[in-house]
Amino acid sequence: MVESSSASRGIRTPYYLIDECRLERNLEVIARVREESGARSVLALKCFSTWGVFDLMSRYLDGTTSSSYYEARLGHEEFGGPGSGKEVHAYSVAWDSDEIAAVSGIADKVIFNSVAQLRAHRAAVGDVPVGLRVNPGVSYSHFDLADPARPHSRLGVVDDAELREVAPLIDGAMFHFNCENDDFAALAAAVGVIADRYGWLLDRLDWVSLGGGIAFTAEDYPRDLFVDLLRRIGERHGVQIYLEPGEAAITACAELVTTVLDVVHNDATIAVVDASLEAHMLDHLIYGTRPRVAEPADGDHLVTIAGRTCLAGDEFGEHRLATPLRVGDEVRFADAAGYTMVKATWFNGLRMPSIVVRRLDGAIDVVRQFTYEDFKRTLS
């Protein structure tokens, strides 16, 4: 994203900058996969819920999938809107009775996580198609924390006998078994296990979701093989396949734009920016990873970039940049769309990053700015 500095545009840092041109590239890939395989794609709102770009995303995606009533309602209201034909898939690890009553009035599919929840709420859903999450015992994740098939996982039904017993009560199933899976061979092997073990179930269902966490919009991903796999599964079992792209939809389309406020020295050069890893890019802290710096460019000058909360480990990591960082310099962190805005917090009372969109025509649109009143309203 090459453009003038934030100061020259009158935008105060920090802010998330979403580039619609980059976003559209991912969406075009998703649309091609749909056209060639027949698999529909619904946006995983748990990863990205910034509805200021839903107008663009709804041109390419079939709807949204949620992990709560609030997400389902957002998809219903903003992703094309009521009557648009866009689907609302409503899933939750556990529903309460009030949520079921509310979500049944807006969802196109309600998905339960357990047999107990299915039995408790099936009647209340009425005529809305019902799904059940199944835990196939196979998965792909670089992190145990995010592995849906980890030992003692609560995510989905594991008992085949239970599943057979309630199969007449459901119209579809969800197999969410991937996290950042860029290995097609591993995916194909897992899908093969699922097809062999649950073929009897797929044969009687109207639809099945293979979930999200599949990096199929990556530039070097073998999409021809992926398309063929999806098409074969759908045709073999006469079932509509769904994908739930989150990261795949928004990867590489946004940056967190910050400004250096101070440079301190303690056996290392440490640049403190006006944002926070903990508050604004939390997943990196959770998983012990490091965000990539998009600007300045890489080089020979070693610097640790840190956030400005009181947490000692609030650091964006050690980086080698083309020039030394000075107070007032702009630093941009790459891949700042997924699991950032949906997890941002008011820790330390830091100013929440604004949300800015670079539209397809190049116009810069500040779609959301946060104030002290927003901070105050989240508290008592």
Instruction: Convert the pLDDT of each residue in 305-335 to its tens digit.
Output: 999 999 999 999 999 999 999 999 999 999 9
CB atoms near residue 100 (< 10 Å) = 22
Q: Which pLDDT score, from 0 to 100, does residue 83 have?
A: 80
Q: Which pLDDT score, from 0 to 100, does residue 80 have?
A: 82
With 50 as the cut, is the pLDDT of residue 269 above it? yes
pTM: 0.95
Give the DSSP H or E segment for 133: strand 130-133
Dump pLDDT digits (tens) for 276-297. Answer: 999 999 999 999 999 999 999 9
CATH H superfamily, domain 38-250:
Alanine racemase (3.20.20.10)
Q: Can you say whether residue 335 is alpha, beta or left, with left for phi > 0 and alpha for psi between -120 and 50 degrees?
A: left
Q: For residue 70, name the pLDDT band (cuts at 50, 70, 90).
A: very high
Enumerate the domain spans of the chain. Answer: 6-18+254-336+344-377, 38-250
According to CATH, the topology of domain 6-18+254-336+344-377 is Lyase, Ornithine Decarboxylase; Chain A, domain 1 (2.40.37)
Q: Which pLDDT score, from 0 to 100, does residue 242 have?
A: 98
The mean pLDDT of the chain is 96
CA separation for the pair 35, 18 (Å, rounded):
26
Mapping DSSP to helix (H, G, I), strand (E, B) and coil, where does residue 92 land?
coil
Q: For residue 84, name the pLDDT band (cuts at 50, 70, 90).
A: confident
Q: Which pLDDT score, from 0 to 100, does residue 349 have?
A: 97
CA separation for the pair 103, 130 (Å, rounded):
12
φ, ψ for residue 24, nearest 5 deg: -65, -30
CA separation for the pair 331, 318 (Å, rounded):
13
Name, in order, each residue with C-beta under 8 angstroms of 80's C-beta and a sequence gap of 6 or more.
54, 58, 63, 86
CB atoms near residue 183 (< 10 Å) = 15
With 80 as the cut, is the pLDDT of residue 4 above it? no
CA separation for the pair 148, 174 (Å, rounded):
12
With 50 as the cut, is the pLDDT of residue 54 above it? yes
Please measure the distance between the N-terminal and C-terminal CA atoms of the chain and give it in whole angstroms: 40
Q: Which pLDDT score, from 0 to 100, does residue 2 have?
A: 43
